Structure 1
Amino acid sequence: MSADQATLEATASAVATKVTYGGGITSAFGLIATIDWIGWVGVCVAITGLAINTYFQIKRDRREEAESHARVKSYTSKCGDD
């Protein structure tokens, strides 16, 4: 994986987290102000942010798992050479 791609994924994940928080705050404001459509917009924004964040977390977990397996394979092959 290139450094640019890792940076892009980290940035997207950070933005998605902020979007989720913004959606939650908007929903709370809509609830307090009893403006239904603002509440629904906030819920939609929060769900979208959560979905984007989940997507990038799953991608990161798979990448880290593959790196871990490669590292373990490298260590076991070095131990077998002794």
Structure 2
Amino acid sequence: MLLTGKHDYRSRNDERQKNVTSSGNDIIIGKSVWIASGAIISAPCNIGDNAVIGAGCVISGDIPENSITTGSRPISTRPI
């Protein structure tokens, strides 16, 4: 799941949809990246080339290239 939108929870009805930012919430995925099932990736973040994101992993920041990231709080990022 890729999450890029940010909403102002204090807004109501149509106003909430109008307040979505149009920039700064990019998810950049490098070449040859593997993303396992159930992974959640929240913007903004940059996933480097050849990275592996484990099943069920929650990503909310940058992942270095040539690394393996696992866990619901990705604390085990290690080089390949």
State the TM-score, normalizing by the size of structure 2: 0.25
Relative contact order, CA 8 A, sep 6+: which one is greater?
A: 1
Larger radius of gyration: 1
Q: Larger % of helix: which? A: 1
Q: Larger % of strand: which? A: 2
